[in-house]
Structure 1
Amino acid sequence: MDQTPTAIFDSYEQDFRHIIQSIRNKLEGEGKNQLGEQRKAALRKVEIELDEADDIVSQLEIEIQGIPQSIKSQYTSRLKQAKADLTKYKKLSKDLHSQAARNDLIGGYRKGTPSSDDPYGEQSDRSRLLLGTERLNDGGRRLADSTSVALETETYGAEILSNLRGQREQIENARSTLGTAEVHIDRSSGTVKGMIRQMYKQRVILYAIIAFLAVLVIIILYFKLVRR
């Protein structure tokens, strides 16, 4: 099963659309023409489904945090649309509840309409209980999936931090080595400069000795040849 944030988001959104379609049918579709207790029962079920849809929107807000920025914008638009649909049907449900309350105050219940406080009946209660248990199990599974993704993300984050820490140590070691090499280069450069200066001094002394010897030879030749 795909556990990526996008796949989990798509799964939650699909459930949301299914619930919204059920609400739409009760408020705007076939259920719109229901009267009396049937209408009230439909509105109560709408309230339950609206709560479920609200919970799913909260899950969508959580899952969108883990979606990469490169594709996050399209999921953000889908989340905004889901919120808009939820707000729309919350308002419509509230308006219909108010309308039903006004009708009760004005005309009371229709004759022959069942006056039971529980329009669902025993069999309907069992169905709702089974449906609620199934959705609870499904919610637990999704929570476990989200926890698994969070743990995997935390593990990846720890590995990345460890790698970054190792790279930082390598950079610091390389910087230290470069600093030591720079010191040695400065010392070597000073030594070479000193050797060059010493060579120039020796060269000057050598030239002076050669010049002195040349003058001495000339003087000797002068006394031997000219003044002989």
Structure 2
Amino acid sequence: MATLKIHGLSPSTFTRTVRLACHEKGVDYEMVDAMPNTIGALNPFGKIPAITHGELTLYESIAILRYLERVFPGPKLWPDDVAAAAVCDQWASAVADSLVNAALRYFAARAGFLPVPAEMAQKYLAKTADVLPVFDRQLGQHRFLAGDSLTVADLYLYPLYAYFPDVAELKAIADQAPNVNRWAREMAGRPSAVATEPSFRPQIAA
């Protein structure tokens, strides 16, 4: 079978989500470094990651993950039960929408990747403080985000939450989320998380 290639950067949260999925399922891949807005031939929207697999080119992380699930054997990232799979999709979407549009935007603003007024950055931070407790309550009831087994939902949350300790304001919010922190410690010890640790981390101004 042709080699799967992941085009992206190791610090990218969505790139790491795809890489985590490959490691959890035992899928071999080649990492091809690619900056956002430089991969127009693979993704007309310029975002990372994208994959190539033989004649197939695919972008958007959820489409990539669904493809990996359908094509490759190994542990399932979605439950077989329809209702449980829907809950998994619900939480994956909650990360990709509510938490990314709060915490990741604040992180990007602090790192200088997203030039926004200070008041807008503060809105992102306030939204993070509103959103993270929802995840904490869920993880107070279950070992993993969508239930008692690891799913794709966890692979969306972990790369983003792993950056919270790098920013004092995000860490302060995380310190109030004991259930997320319990989950994050378990996730950090998984071989997939160790293997996909970013080769460098964005520098955040003090």
Q: Computing the radius of gyration over CA atoms, which structure comes out larger, 1 or 2?
A: 1
Higher strand share: 2
- TM-score, structure 2 as length reference: 0.30
- TM-score, structure 1 as length reference: 0.28
Higher helix share: 1
